[in-house]
Amino acid sequence: MTRDDIEITIPNSVIANAKIINESGGGGGIGTAIKLNDGSGSIFSYVDAEAIVNENITFDVDNAGINSSFVVTVIPKVTVANGIGMTVGTGKTMVIDALQLGGL
Nearest CA to 71 out of 81, 79, 61 is that of: 61
Give the pTM. Answer: 0.61
pLDDT digits (tens, 9 = 90+) for 57-76: 999 999 998 889 999 999 99
At residue 35 the predicted structure's pLDDT band, cuts being 50, 70 and 90, is confident
The rounded distance, in Å, linking the Cα atoms of 22 and 7 is: 14
Is 29's pLDDT higher than 80? no
| Cβ proximity of 75 and 48 under 8 Å | yes
At residue 85 the predicted structure's pLDDT band, cuts being 50, 70 and 90, is very high
Q: How many CB atoms lie within 10 A of CB 46?
A: 12
Residue 12's φ and ψ, nearest 5 degrees, are -55, -35
